[in-house]
Structure 1
Amino acid sequence: MVKYLLLIFGLVSFPLFGQISQTLKGSVVDSESQYPLIGAKLTLISSDSSIIMRNMTDLDGLYNFQEVPIGKYELIASYNSYLNSYTTVTVNSGRESIVNIKLNEDVVTTEEVNIIGRKVGQVNNEMATISARQFSVEETNRYAGSRGDPARMASNFAGVQGADDSRNDIVVRGNSPIGILWKVEGIDLPNPNHFATSGSTGGPVAILNNKILANSDFFISAFPADYGNSISAVFDLRLRNGNTDKHEFTGQFGFLGTEVLAEGPINRDKRSSYLVMGRYSTLSIFQSMNIRIGTDAVPAYGDGAFKLSFPLKKGGHIGIFGIGGASDIAIKISDQKEISEEAFGEGDRDQYFGTAMGVLGLSYKKPVSRNTFFKATIAQSYDQQKSRHDFLERSIDTSIVGGEEQYEIRTDSIYQLMGYKFKTYKTALYASINHKINNRNLIRAGINVDGYYIVNNDSVLDVTKSFFETRHDYEGFSTLIQPFVQYKWKINERMDFTAGVHSQYFSLSDSWSYAEPRLGWQWRLQNGQQFSAGAGLHSQMQPTYQYTYQQVNTEGEMRRLNEDMDFTKSFHSAVGYQKNFKSNLTLKSEVYYQHLYNIPVNTYASSFSLINQGSGFQRFFPDELVNEGTGTNYGVEVSVQKYFNKSFFFLATGSLFESKYKGSDGIERNTDFNGNYAVNFLAGKEFKINDRNMISAGFKVTAAGGRRYGYVDIAKTEINSELVFKDSLFNTRQFKDYFRLDLKVTYVLNTEKLTHEIGLDLVNILNTENILALSYAPNLADPTQDPIAQRYQLGFLPIFYYKVDFSFSKGPRGGSSR
């Protein structure tokens, strides 16, 4: 394959000779006040450790390296009384490289003290002390099997499970994916995934695209007081700005979607810019061209995003941003004439499902002074889920062909079984202010206010098939209010202490969490070692549709069963150790303990608990619930990471854990997510053919404990036409362990104006059969068999893409390189 790629692109590049160069630029600001640092020094070092160029920031804290030869470099930023920053940079011909740098102020300014400052992997939020990971777009984009999905990329971190090929649910330390909080520019996002089931936080295909993201933060425990309404993890996303000097374009065609991205200056003198991108399902394009792709149930989806950036004087900034997407799929069993097992959906019905989400926001950032920074965001979001199930009455025609018995399925009748449409309109406001009292003390205070307008409608055919039962019929407004204050004390040049308080109130259930304390501590030693600890109390509201679920009581009155559910709460604690070696090698280890309580469970004795919900494509319809359930998560995690800096990277992560819970029957059981262990090993290397051509190869191995399940109650399953498990034996069984090997190969060619990239992501290259779940599947040929089938995860899946980057209209701005 490589031979043919070289031949094709060799023809493109044959007439081009000479060294190819590109621009490297960005900004340098104070990490806490966001104030631009004037006269900061930038040094660009090549892979052989020789100094290539030097630069300084201008009056707006901007730097600009012109005519940098394509390749990889280390960028060092320094400023008087600040700690140095070290960043690995890749320069290609098709796009300018933009690197924005935040420097931490040194608490000791004497020249005798030599402290290494901000290094690769450090998170943006300076209040974080433990259980925080930097989500580096350049680093994670190299991970095999990630499909360009930020959630799947994050599943490679220690403590995060990603052993589900059908969805990108993030299971952190045994917690339900419901506990994940997605944020962008300070406000909470609706589920940013296509085909997102109500109340979930994941899906099969991400709406978010890493091409629009800047380096972001991922917190998996004891996060600072800035973050609330989450008991598991927080994905705090940052959107990058467009190029202020050049118009740049990216086109990509691949298995998962056809994408177009454009960015560039709106006004070069004022450094305003635009960034806009869109994607549409390639599978849908194939279907519209009558190209068969192996299944009639073709998912159709499209998404887009944009950001308009308007810099102000003295480091201020106004941003307008938007993210959105829509998806639809029809799984029509009625069209099938042969007996088969569907990978998605049940075998007795046609299913139609669609989702949509969108957010439009305005952000304002302003360094009020050298010590004070103000940030505010206001946004309007919308999300919708709709579905309809048509039940099939089917039979089998038998015939003799060539002496052999042949079967053909006949659909006798079709009638609607259920249908629902959930819509949520949300207005969100976020505001915070950072004030650096001095170089040792920092305080941050702010508030999140979310206003929900909810419209939920849902009905289902009764088991007698004589009337429709209304499960949701609600329209109303509610608010979620979350104030917080966070303090950081730099005790000395090597030790930090943080303390904060978060509070939240939800009006629909009249739930209060008055004070949630958060504490953190970090101690950095001279030999690259670091100790850290953190603890905090966290709470989260339940999925909104659970508050609107209704039933007719014994007196014939319609009543919403769970409108008064309280917050689920969780106490987090963790202790960590880190050792930084040379050559960007880091060892991290953490031990954690989490106590969950106030979890909704049944009023009568049963195994049910909301702690097990949130993954898969099914909604759940519990009886009346009370906040009396508990849970416990504890374990140990280790990761060894060699960050990509020259031509090689690897990441090895492992975790051993227990995840238990108690329902209203008081019996301790395994949660759905208690796989007991998870191991990932990723590695990749670049091979430089010449100054313009490069091949990258990488692989990923994942092994994890199987999902928990129980024994099926056959009698109740046949009555309800869906799987019903025996309550007393819930989660007493476990599927076999999960294993997957992925391989990724990319070829990059830089020409004078273009960067071409061809990639092939080979998912599950060994075609390992991993069990996904059990499902209801009555056997029409032999009705006496149990109506149970094992559903398997993805087999071998080759995912290809071709991407091209190019730019034009170079601007004259920026300082000189020397």
Structure 2
Amino acid sequence: MKPSLLFLFGLLLTEAGYAQLSQTLRGRVVDKESKYPLVDVTVQVTDVTPAMGTISDTAGRYRLTNVPVGRHTVKLSLVGYKEALLNNIIVDAGRETILDIDLEESIQQLSAVTVKALRTGDARNEMAMVSARQFSVEETDRYAGSRGEPARMASNFAGVQGADDSRNDIVIRGNSPIGVLWRVEGVSIPNPNHFAYPGTTGGPVSIINNKYLANSDFFTGAFPAEFGNSMAGVFDLRLRNGNNERHQRSFQFGFLGTEGLVEGPLSRQSGSSYLVTYRYANLWLFNKLGIDLGTSAVPTYQDASFRLNFPNKKGGRVALWGFGGASTIDILISNQEIADRNIYGQNDRDQYFNTRMGVAGITFEQPLNRKTFFKATLAASGNAQGAVDDFLFLKHEGNQPMVQNNRYVIDSLRPTLGYHFRESKGSLALSLNHKFSPRSILKAGLNTDLYSFRFIDSVRTVANETIPATLGSWSTRWDSREQAVLLQPYVQWRVNLLDNLSLSAGLTSLYFSLNPNSFSPVEPRLGLSWDLPNRQKISLATGLHSQIQPNYIYFSRFTPASGSAPAGTHNQDIGLTKSWHYVAAYDRLLGRNMRLKLEAYYQRLFDVPVEQQRSSFSILNTGASFSRIFPDKLVNQGTGRNYGVELTLEKFFSDSYYFLVTGSLFDAKYRGSDGVLRNTDFNGRYAVNTLVAKEFIFRRGDQRGSSLNLGAKFTAIGGRWYGPVNEAASRQNQEIIFADATRNTLQFAPYRRLDLKVDYKINRATPGGGRLTHTIAVDFVNILGIQNLLSLTYAPQPDGSFIKQEYQLGFLPVFFYRIDF
């Protein structure tokens, strides 16, 4: 650590004790289904002495002033409603804590009856019976190795893998990451990551700033009917409003970026507010400090977001919101030494790659009465990727490449590829919640997406990598301008059959206008939840799910086996991938702050796109790399099946510590058009995560001045599958091609990683009466520097070999300093 940083750290330590260490905790309480404001809700901070409490007003608003900084438990109660018990609510000096809560009406209306409490981690969506969890912004910051991202944070949950240090793809229960749906304010959005390749849902860095999010839901299977066009899981993200009473600012500097946030009231009288964020990459710091990022290239990116919120006098609101980002990386193999690493591109060419993604929308929410709530979101989104490749022809002596000063001697650079993929989309999401009674709730809606595609791609083949004259002529693989509509109506009904028995039943449908095969007329969803004595619960759920294919695949003109096909006729007729989900779950609360959860599942996949010619290809193995796929003619004749058991043991943050232990045993297999049952690429067979953190509070008298959080995470996951290399085909195509018949018969060594996180927070008051919160944190990712194998790549070597083992990132310290004021 540099002397200047040590000085700053020491300075903050000396100033920590002079603060008036308190802040305001406030928010709004509404009915969970109708969003109607609730009056006279008792709101208590239960872990302070003397106890603090207040009640909500006619608009559902409550306010607690002079709440001591630190972590607290907040309890909300109202006669006729289920009690909400929220653990680990952080109050910092530098910003007000705004906690908006939905309370669920109790079936039993008598105040003497004890009802089940809504606890931290329970999904916000009342229709979800199994495989669903709510997560908070604080969790994305708290978990070691998460780097402040929802996707990396979710990889700690049972049934979820994220064993790729270079990407944040989410592998759920052995499914491809392309099966994950991202939703914001009710509308589906493009891949929200920088450097996002076509046909993927992950990337190296998230575009969405976690400070922009409110508490959101994450689903891993058998999700409710409102979520269509997804096979594996759903991120249902909610955006938070800015502070509508005081202006607040946040500035952060770290290895991953320099960022700022401003928020505050537009009008204190009306309660309108604004929130704006911006971030610019600082990855050049890693390069300067000699920290391995897997490439000598320096990626650049920037992103921004905004939200304007305008409440009305009837309890509704209109919100204007948007976020987006742009990223660029130039991987210049011609400037690298032979030993330099390159896990993000190919080793025989210079690559210039850029991406853009953005979403903007308007959301209208309105309680129509005490029983009915209406929501509508209109949004426009777009994403684009562009690339240019220049092939390196090397000088040779005999059959060996010439080497000088640890570099290959280059004969010439010749352009071999150029593509630009662009998708734009207009989206409309309509939903209506109606509560017939505390026992019966109906939700119905329609999600509509109007797509516009523009795919352009040209390539030249290299017949002999030593002779520039063998470079072929340009051929077109994509040249498409198309439009299509995706429609998904749904209805979901939840009814409490008994006081302890709930049923959730729904229907949805999916229609994609691109071809007549992309229509699923009826998809049933069903869930059952049974509350047992001693705070136990058994849940069951099933459902039929379908999904369209990555859009660029429909328009490919390239057929490796038989040459080019006419435009628009190659894969434009492939239909939906479909799957039945079956899930059983057992939950038990062990004391006040600990939960045990067991889930077992079976997933049957069918109508999976595979190649018409006999091969091992399946769409189930795609979506987790920095490359596109180029299959031959596809047909919906493949199958797959996933099954497994999952365990979660979680102690919520109390007594200054928490832990989370998750484990999964599973098996994921598929059949290509050759009929052979194989491991999917993602069939690691087991995944274990263990997280623990301890908080140390430093006081001055009765004040909590600063805190030190120490956290650790250990991950163990079975390795990815691969097979013997087809050397002749690999040399011909200048990329690794596995022998088709023996695909996925070999497995990489298991993935192991230990992460540590140190987070020091200081709350203090300024002489002028202001309040500041300083945070210094370092996330030590893979602190043991374990070498985990990532992939095999094509990289010609001086000895004539071309297969190179690429390893994942080694030790990676991620530092940031943040000030909130």
> TM-score interval w.r.t. the shorter chain?
over 0.9
State which of 470, 474, 477 in structure 1 corresponds to 2:476: 470
**Residue 742 of structure 1 aligns with which residue?**
755
Distance 1:104 1:163 in 2: 38
Alignment of 1:8 with 2:11, yes or no, is yes
Change (3 A) 1:797 1:408: closer
Distance 1:3 1:530 in 2: 51
Q: For 1:178, what is the secondary structure of its paired residue? A: helix
Query: One-letter code of the match for 1:9?
Result: L
Query: One-letter code of the match for 2:642?
Result: N
Query: One-letter code of the match for 1:789?
Result: K
Distance 1:368 1:555 in 2: 57
**Residue 459 of structure 2 aligns with which residue?**
460
1:462 is displaced (CA, Å) by: 3.0
Residue-by-residue CA offset, 1:705-740 (whole Å, 9 max, x unaligned): 000000101111111111111000000000000000
Residue-by-residue CA offset, 1:529-579 (whole Å, 9 max, x unaligned): 010010000000000000111148779844531000100000001000000
Query: One-letter code of the match for 2:735?
Result: E
Residue-by-residue CA offset, 1:661-703 (whole Å, 9 max, x unaligned): 0001111000000000000000001001112111000000000
Distance 1:173 1:453 in 2: 32
State which of 780, 783, 786 in structure 2 corresponds to 1:765: 783
Unaligned runs of 5+ in 2: 464-470, 766-770
Distance 2:480 2:654 in 1: 54
8 Å CA contact retained: 1:185, 1:237: yes
State which of 502, 507, 517 in structure 2 corresponds to 1:496: 502
Query: One-letter code of the match for 1:539?
Result: S
**Residue 588 of structure 1 aligns with which residue?**
597
Alignment of 1:802 with 2:817, yes or no, is yes
Distance 2:80 2:587 in 1: 25
Q: For 2:323, what is the secondary structure of its paired residue? A: strand
Residue-by-residue CA offset, 1:125-183 (whole Å, 9 max, x unaligned): 11111110111222342100011111000000000001110100000000000000000
Q: For 2:787, what is the secondary structure of its paired residue? A: coil
Q: For 2:741, what is the secondary structure of its paired residue? A: helix
* Structure 1 segment 328-343 matched on structure 2, within 5 A: 328-343=328-343
Alignment of 1:537 with 2:514, yes or no, is no
Tell me the TM-score normalized by structure 1.
Answer: 0.94
Residue-by-residue CA offset, 1:262-303 (whole Å, 9 max, x unaligned): 11100011111001101000125888xx98777640000001
State which of 656, 675, 679 in structure 2 corresponds to 1:670: 679
Query: One-letter code of the match for 2:27?
Result: G
8 Å CA contact retained: 2:296, 2:340: no
Alignment of 1:99 with 2:99, yes or no, is yes
**Residue 813 of structure 1 aligns with which residue?**
none
**Residue 527 of structure 2 aligns with which residue?**
520
**Residue 814 of structure 1 aligns with which residue?**
none
State which of 492, 495, 502 in structure 2 corresponds to 1:486: 492
Q: For 2:106, what is the secondary structure of its paired residue? A: coil
Change (3 A) 1:395 1:512: same
8 Å CA contact retained: 2:555, 2:568: no
**Residue 799 of structure 2 aligns with which residue?**
782
Q: For 1:246, what is the secondary structure of its paired residue? A: coil
Distance 1:268 1:548 in 2: 52
Distance 2:143 2:563 in 1: 56
Query: One-letter code of the match for 1:490?
Result: N
Residue-by-residue CA offset, 1:95-125 (whole Å, 9 max, x unaligned): 0011111111011112442112211111111
Residue-by-residue CA offset, 1:587-622 (whole Å, 9 max, x unaligned): 000000000000001112111111111101110011
Q: For 2:51, what is the secondary structure of its paired residue? A: strand
**Residue 720 of structure 1 aligns with which residue?**
733
Q: For 1:215, what is the secondary structure of its paired residue? A: strand
8 Å CA contact retained: 1:580, 1:587: yes
Query: One-letter code of the match for 2:791?
Result: A
1:69 is displaced (CA, Å) by: 2.0
* Structure 1 segment 192-591 matched on structure 2, within 5 A: 192-284=192-284, 296-395=296-395, 408-464=407-463, 465-510=471-516, 511-551=518-558, 557-591=566-600
Distance 2:572 2:789 in 1: 36
Moved more, 498-507 or 275-284: 275-284
Change (3 A) 1:531 1:324: same
Query: One-letter code of the match for 1:727?
Result: D
**Residue 768 of structure 2 aligns with which residue?**
none
Q: For 1:560, what is the secondary structure of its paired residue? A: coil
**Residue 90 of structure 2 aligns with which residue?**
90
**Residue 640 of structure 1 aligns with which residue?**
649
8 Å CA contact retained: 1:397, 1:410: no
**Residue 810 of structure 1 aligns with which residue?**
none
Distance 2:241 2:319 in 1: 9
Q: For 1:611, what is the secondary structure of its paired residue? A: helix
Change (3 A) 1:548 1:559: closer
Distance 2:563 2:792 in 1: 34
8 Å CA contact retained: 2:296, 2:336: no
Alignment of 1:27 with 2:28, yes or no, is yes
8 Å CA contact retained: 1:275, 1:308: yes
Distance 2:46 2:589 in 1: 21
Distance 2:601 2:686 in 1: 14
Distance 1:280 1:493 in 2: 53
8 Å CA contact retained: 1:601, 1:625: yes
**Residue 772 of structure 2 aligns with which residue?**
754
8 Å CA contact retained: 2:140, 2:210: no
Distance 1:260 1:408 in 2: 41
Distance 1:434 1:241 in 2: 22
Alignment of 1:707 with 2:706, yes or no, is no
Distance 2:153 2:763 in 1: 26
1:364 is displaced (CA, Å) by: 0.5
Residue-by-residue CA offset, 1:208-231 (whole Å, 9 max, x unaligned): 121111110001000000100001
* Structure 1 segment 119-198 matched on structure 2, within 5 A: 119-198=119-198
Number of residue-to-residue matches in the alignment: 792
8 Å CA contact retained: 1:36, 1:314: no
8 Å CA contact retained: 2:729, 2:737: yes
Change (3 A) 1:644 1:13: closer
1:338 is displaced (CA, Å) by: 4.6
Distance 1:350 1:548 in 2: 27
Change (3 A) 1:556 1:189: closer
8 Å CA contact retained: 2:225, 2:506: yes
1:407 is displaced (CA, Å) by: 5.0
Residue-by-residue CA offset, 1:447-467 (whole Å, 9 max, x unaligned): 000000110000110344221
Distance 2:373 2:93 in 1: 36
Change (3 A) 1:153 1:405: closer
Residue-by-residue CA offset, 1:67-109 (whole Å, 9 max, x unaligned): 2222222211111211111113221100001111111101111
8 Å CA contact retained: 2:187, 2:377: yes
Change (3 A) 1:175 1:322: same
1:369 is displaced (CA, Å) by: 0.4
Moved more, 539-548 or 51-60: 51-60
Change (3 A) 1:9 1:108: same
**Residue 631 of structure 1 aligns with which residue?**
640
Q: For 2:138, what is the secondary structure of its paired residue? A: helix
Change (3 A) 1:562 1:680: same
Moved more, 624-633 or 717-726: 717-726
Query: One-letter code of the match for 1:160?
Result: V
**Residue 807 of structure 2 aligns with which residue?**
792
Distance 1:599 1:297 in 2: 37
Distance 1:591 1:27 in 2: 37
